[in-house]
Structure formats: C-alpha cells, structure tokens
Amino acid sequence: MWLRRLATDRIARASLAPADTPLIIVAPIKSALRITALNDAAARLRLKPGLALADARAMYPSLAVEHADPDADQRLLDAIADWCDRYTPLVGLAPPDGLAFDITGCAHLFGGERAFCRDLVTRLAAQGFATHVAAADTLGCAFAAAHFGDAEVCLVPPDEMRAMLAPLPLAALRLAPEIVDALAQVGLKYIGDVLERPRAPFAARFGVEFIRRIDQALGHEDEPIKPRLPVPTALVERRFADPIALEADVLGTIDQLARDLDRLLERRGEGARLLQVALFRADGAVHRIELGTSAPVRDPARVRRLFADRLAVLGDSCDPGFGFDMLRLSALVTERLDPSQTSFATPDQNAELAHLIDRLGARFGLRRVTRLVPLDTHIPEFTVAAVPAHAPRSPASGEGMPAYDSLVTARPIRLFDHPEHIDAIAEVPDGPPVRFRWRHVLHEVARSEGPERIAMEWWRDEHGNVLTRDYFRVESRQGTRAWLYREGLFGRETAQPRWFLHGLFA
Amino acid sequence: MQPVRAEALEELRHQVAQIEASVPTLAGAGHSVRLGIPAIDTALGGGLPVAAVHELAPALPIHSGAAQGFAVALAAQSRGSVLWIETDFTRMENGAPYGPGLALSGLALDRLVLLTVPRSIDVLWAMEEALRSRAVTTVIGEVPNDHTLDDGPATRRLSLTARDSGGFGLLLRQRPSPAASAAATRWQVAAAPGAQDQFGGLGRTTFVLSLTKNRHGPCGHWLIAWDHHDRVFQEALSVSVAEAARDRPDRARLARTG
C-alpha cells in the first residue's frame, strides 16, 4: 500500500483550508529549500518535487508552504499501521510512505482481494488519505504496481506479473537512484528493457543488488515482510457492528475470546506465557494490553481474571472514546502445556500459587512480585536476590538457604536498602559502640556482639577503594536490636570511620 | 476448566471433606497457631485461630523490629507458602524483609513470595485476593501509618475472607491504632531487654506482648522470649523487672483509694 500524499494529507487533515488549495512541503536540500512533497492541487500546477521553493514562489506567489517533518510523518505512518492491524496481524513498514501486508489467508474474510483493497482505500480516503493499494504475489511487484500503476486498486494475477512490470520505469524496482541514473545513461528506462537481456553483464556492472531486486519482483527470490510487531502464534478476534464502550462488555468479549483461544491452544497442546489484548478504537487508536504469566495458561476463567485485574488498574488510561469496534486476543508466546488431571481431594497448590502470582503481577506489574534466591557471596546486601516470582525457578534456587544452626552468625530480619548513617560513639576506635543516635533518637547500647568483619569484594569496585565493614549486633537498653557497622578500618583504611545502621533484628 | 465445573468441583471437594470430617482448607479451619506458652494459649482458647485476621503493631516505632519478628515467628509456624505484602513506603521506612534472617527465624525462602505495592490501599486488595485464593496459607500485610485501615469495613472484609477460606492473615501496622477493627486479636509488641547468653553475648529475644483485643477470651500482658535455636517461644523473666526490684525506692507508693 502506498500513501501517495502522506505528508500533505497530514497537514490537510489538521487544517480548515479547502482541499484544492495548492500545498507544498519543503526541506533544505543541496543548500536550497526544495519541494519534497506536494498535494494534488499543486501537482496540477505542474510543480514537481525537487523544484526550488524560490522558483515555485515566483510562479505562484500564493502557494501554501510547510516545512517537512519526517518524524511526524513517521509517527503518522505508525498510527496508520496500528489501525491496519485490524486487517492482518502481519503488517510491515515500507518507509517513508508505504505499508506492506501479508494477506495470505485473510483476504477472503473481507470478500476477496479486490474487496479487501477497495475497503482499505475507501476507509483511508474517509480519513483523508489518498492511497494506492496493489496486491501481488511478491512484495516487489506489489510495490511497483502501487507506486507506478495508475489505478487506486491494482490486482496482479501471478501469470501477469511480467507483463505488468515491463512498461514500468526502473525506479519501480526499488533501486538506488544512482543505479537508475546509470541505467538511463545506457538507454535502459523501463523494466521491460532489462528483463529479456542476459543477466551476467548487468550483475557485473550494476551489482548483485540489481539482479536481486528483479528476482524479488518476479518471485524467483523470496522476500519476507518484516512485521512491525511480534506475530502471535495464535489469535482470536471479534468485530462489532456497533462499537462497545462498557468495561463489562469488554470483559465479556475477552471471556468469549478466551474460550476460542482455549480451543485453539488445546488442539496444539499449548498454553500461553504472554498474552495480549488489542482494543481497536472506532476512531483508529489501538490500545494493547500485555500480560505475562508464570506458567502456561489457557483456562478461559483465568485469562479473564487476569485481564479483569489489569483493566481495573488501567482505568482511565484505557479510554474507550467512541467505543471499540474490534477486540483481538493473541498468544504472543506459547509453551507446551500437557493436560493434567485435577485432583479431586485438594486443589493443585503450585498451579494455584502460579495463578495468584500472575494476578498480582497483572495488577501491580510482574516485577513487584518476587521471590528471594540465595547467591554465593558474603556481602550482606547481595546474599539474596529478589527475582521475579513468575520466572521459572533455576535448579540452584531450589536448594534454599543452607541449613542454619547455632554456628551460623545471626542476621537481621529487616535490611535497609540504603544503610542509614548514624552517629555512634565507641570507647576505643575499633571497639563496639556504646551509644548511637538513629533517626534523632539516642540509644544506649546495653550489650553488643562483634565485630564480624566483612571485607568487600575488591573486584566489585573498579577503583579498589572499598572499605571493610565491622558489623556489631547491639541491643539497646530498651531491648531494640540493631545491626550496625563501622565502615573502614581505623588507622589503616580511614582516619574517620563512619557508622551505619544496616538492619533490625527481631 | 469451565467456571461452572470449577464450582461443582469445589462443592464436591467440600462434600468429600465433610465425609472425612475435616474442612478442606490448607491450614485447616479451626486449627490454630500455638505460641507454646500455656498462659497465652489458654487466653486465646487454644492458640491463635488460623482462619482469621490478626493485627500486630509495635508499641513504639523503635520496636518495629520486634513486631516484625513476632509476625515472622507466627508465620513460620504455619505450613505452606507465605505472601509478604509491603508498600514502597514501609520498605523505605523499615527496610526490606531480609532472606537469611527470615530463614534463621524458621521461614524458609522457598515458602516466601514478596509483593511490593505502591499504595497502602493496594495492600488490602492484594491481601484479600491472596487469602481467598488458598494458594498461600499465610498473608502478612504491612500497612503504613495512615488511615487506610480506620474504616471498619476494610478489616471486616479481610476477616470474612479469611474465615471463609481458612487463610491466616497478619496485619502489620506501624503503630497501634485507636480505631475499631474487626480483627480477631490485636497485639502490641515491644522489645524488652533480654538476658545475656552464656558467652556474654545477646541472648534470647525478649518480647513484651500486650493482647489488647481478643474476641474469644480475656486480654493480657506477657513477657516472653524467642529461642532462635529451637525456634520456640518461652516464658521469660524480665531483666528490667529484676533491676526495678533492686533499684526501687524503699517505700512502695501508696495506692490511692476512693
């Protein structure tokens, strides 16, 4: 599909000027402002891209002129591609102003290829975009037909590709401009001129790229469409003649879709690890809600619950506007899920826990649901790592903490992410503290244990200036137990050791 | 699985359980967590009931470590998984639950799932969902010191959910609240100076427990100690009591009458 007048349509959509006002878009090229795009009215005035703005102004002083904004064009193209997702999940960008669809197996849903293309052109025209759509067996051929064919809709049957391509200029093959120029210099202007000639001299003179483009257009060489978004392994969708806006309706639809998806995945013996609901708003905006799960899921009730939780959080950020006219549920990542027998006596603990983690993750974000996994280091803050609970457990983490006995040093039950600086006084520079002030409260130390000297791992710090810590377990006169440390060995590493409170004991 | 079938299955499970004369909860409704101290267990009518929500609060902010230690000790006694819910604020204020320390207190890391939520109202939502799901037996919810819990329905909802599902809910406040609560019991926990151990170091952790609300019996005030090695509660004799006896004024104050 080619959006013929993307840049000018973008501005015309936002302006109130009549559609037949000549409009040109200019950008600085070769040290002059030159026309890069123009609308139909301007084209009728025989203006052409590449013409300097000064010349154009001299010819038509009343021209409307805008500066080029490639980023805005790109964003608009993305939005259109989003909207086009309703036709096929496999939409690719063909910058700067084209889109490529893989419509294999889905054109019949719209009443055949012609009706499909016609529908696309009409709907986009209603939104104010002039488009040329071509359907062909190869991307190259469709590109040529859309850009250089005369009709808005152009269908190229497989056996007519050669005939269709022959009269088109060589630029239709998506060649670099300098190759087109070089070919023109030797008198080759149309694709038909090169199709019948021997290929080897062309390859030698103009590069393999040239030959490859010809092969791609004719289907001798495969050219896949690069999808913009990951292509789901399974998807189900519902379209509505009348857009729906109520949350209950959306959830009801997700419920139905989840049942369809369940049947689809059950046949394959798979469950979804990553689910996405795409809500296509009637005015073209698309909301996508993604959900990861800790174990493969296909139970419709669970899928529905997960999205219900997610929607509850999204709230207003998922604005229905004038309603959604299509919902699509897709499984982006799937894994093998063998049917298991449900026990009659007790519910399956692990499955229940996985589902709870998924639900909490759906509401608060999966990064907020964690498990603690021991690591092989003696630095207190790194001894355990919080890993997302939905991640599959590695074999090492199954061991849990090593068995604790009375010989193991005590550790606090709470640890501050950032050790809190305290003012502490010790009788001797490297002795235990006798009193300390934490959060404006003075604590008299009644009893203390330590020091437990923990040297930092020198390889963690590239400058090597990591200070050793002397940890003390102290109990205040009120009975509060805290884990303090002095940073830096007195006299050897620092002259002024600082004290920190790192954790609290029960 | 169809929802209808899930309900039917649940119903059948219930029937099977009734035939077997046990209620199908993981922790077991009607079960209770015993503290192992006869005086307290008697006051509680046999132990802390499991299918209920209990409120714990440090008597003073500096005793937050003690209150959390008490909660961990209770959670460690139940079987099954534990969900610990904290907010971003309490995490910053009190630190994060520290794995090795929890493991030392008897709460193995593979039983623990941590959840950090942005707002205190989310704690209640997550706690209710977790209690209802039966995937975890114990839920510890840390609530910051705001007025989230001060409306009665919040705790009542949690209590009803816990009663129906048999979950053990522990609400950990940051300070005692005068507001009414539907929790089965409310505790104020404070640390007390403990005796030194035989090597001159820190001995058993001593708690002053105040039971300020008890739906099934009298309230009370106890001094107990937690033995880290055997992981049991024991009765303790307060050092401060002994000191007070030694240092007390020679004449006891007259009790006022009338």
Residue A405 or residue B140, greater confidence: B140
pLDDT for the residue A271: 86
Q: Which residue of B has its CA nearest to A441?
A: B62
- Determine whether the interchain pair B136/A353 forms a contact, defined as Cβ–Cβ distance below 8 Å: yes
Q: Over the stretch B196-240, which tens digit does the pLDDT of each residue have? A: 777 777 888 888 899 988 887 888 888 888 887 778 888 876 544
- Model confidence pLDDT, tens digit, residues B9-63: 888 877 776 665 444 344 444 578 888 888 888 888 888 888 889 999 999 888 8
Instruction: Tell me which residue in A356, A406, A475 faces B130 most closely, judged by beta carbons.
Output: A356
Count the alpha carbons within 13 Å of A278 in the hemisphere toward its beta carbon.
27
**C-alpha distances out from residue A337 to A294, A393, A470, B30, Å:** 13, 17, 51, 37
Is the pLDDT confidence value at A90 over 50? yes
d(CA A148, CA A50): 19
Residue with the bigger pLDDT between B188 and A231: it is: B188
Residue A481 and residue B192: Cβ atoms within 8 Å?
A: no
Sign of the Cα pseudo-torsion (B129, B135, B139, B145, in order): negative
Predicted pLDDT of residue B3: 58
pLDDT at position B4 is 65
DSSP 8-state code for residue A479: S
More confident residue, B21 or B103: B103
Cα distance between residue A232 and residue A220, in whole Å: 28
Q: Is A274 on the interface with B (CB under 8 A)?
A: no
Confidence label for A422 from pLDDT (cuts 50, 70 and 90) = very high
Of A74-83, A223-232, B121-130, the range with the lowest mean pLDDT is A223-232
- Among all chains, which residue has been given the structure tokens 């038509």? A60
pLDDT digits (tens, 9 = 90+) for A434-489: 999 998 889 999 888 878 888 887 777 666 567 888 899 999 988 889 999 998 88
- Rounded CA-CA distance A481/A473 in Å is 7
β-bridge partners, B34: none
pLDDT recorded at residue B21: 45
User: Min CA distance, B131 vs chain A (Å)?
Assistant: 10
Task: Give me the residue label for tokens 């016609």.
Answer: A118
Helices first, then strands: H and E counts in chain A: 14, 20
Residue among B110, B114, B117 whose CB faces A386 most closely:
B114
Reported as a single tens digit per residue, the pLDDT across B124-178 is: 999 999 998 888 889 999 988 777 777 678 888 888 888 888 889 999 988 888 8
Burial tier of A222 (Cβ tally within 10 Å: 0-12, 13-18, 19+):
exposed
Least confident of A27-36, A133-142, A225-234, B61-70: A225-234
- Name the residue type at position B256: R
Any bridge partners for residue B170, and if so which? Answer: B54, B140
* DSSP assignment letter at A91: E
Residues 323-382 on A with a CB inside 8 Å of B are: 342, 344-347, 349, 352-353, 355-357, 359-360, 363-364, 368-374
Q: ipTM of this predicted complex? A: 0.78
Interface of A with B in 402-441 (CB under 8 A): 404, 406, 408, 410-417, 441
Q: Chain B contact for A282, CB < 8 A?
A: no
Q: Which helix (H) or strand (E) holds A141?
A: helix A139-148
Q: Please, where are the H alpha helices in chain B?
A: 3-19, 38-43, 64-77, 88-94, 99-104, 120-133, 152-165, 239-247
Distance from CA of A352 to the nearest CA of B (A): 5
Alpha-carbon gap, residue B75 to B84, rounded angstroms: 10
Which one has a higher pLDDT value, B95 or B253?
Answer: B95
Question: How confident is the model at residue A400, as a pLDDT?
Answer: 47
Q: Is residue B185 within 8 Å of B2, Cβ to Cβ?
A: no
Worst-scoring range by mean pLDDT, A195-199, A413-417, B182-186?
A195-199
Reported as a single tens digit per residue, the pLDDT across A154-181 is: 888 888 888 888 888 888 888 888 888 8
Higher local confidence (pLDDT), B82 or A218: B82
Digit-coded pLDDT (tens) for A263-282? 888 888 888 888 888 888 88
pLDDT value, residue A502 = 92
Contacts 24+ apart (CB under 8 A), B8-11: B9/A342, B9/A344
- For chain B, give percent helix, strand, coil, nearest 5: 35, 25, 35
Q: Do A415 and B95 touch (CB under 8 A)?
A: yes
> Rounded to the nearest 10 degrees, how much is the dihedral formed by the CA atoms of A372, A375, A378, A382?
-50
- pLDDT of amino acid B148: 72
pLDDT digits (tens, 9 = 90+) for A372-395: 888 878 888 888 888 888 776 554
CB A173, CB A144: distance < 8 Å: yes
**Average pLDDT score over chain A:** 83
Could you tell me if B171 and B145 are in contact, meaning their C-beta atoms sit under 8 angstroms apart? no
- Name A479's Cβ contacts closer than 8 Å, sequence gap at least 6: B63, B66, B190, B191, B192, B193, B194, B206
- φ, ψ of residue A3 in degrees (nearest 5): -90, 95
Query: Which residue among A406, A414, A446 places its CB closest to the CB of B65?
Result: A414
The tally of CA atoms less than 13 A away on the side-chain side of residue A79 is 15
Q: Kindly report the backbone phi and psi dihedral angles of residue A197, in degrees, each rounded to the nearest multiple of 5, phi listed first.
A: -90, 160
Q: In what order do the strands lie in the sheet with A64-67?
A: A32-38, A23-29, A64-67
The per-residue pLDDT for B85 is 94
Q: How far is B129 from chain A (nearest CA, A)?
A: 8
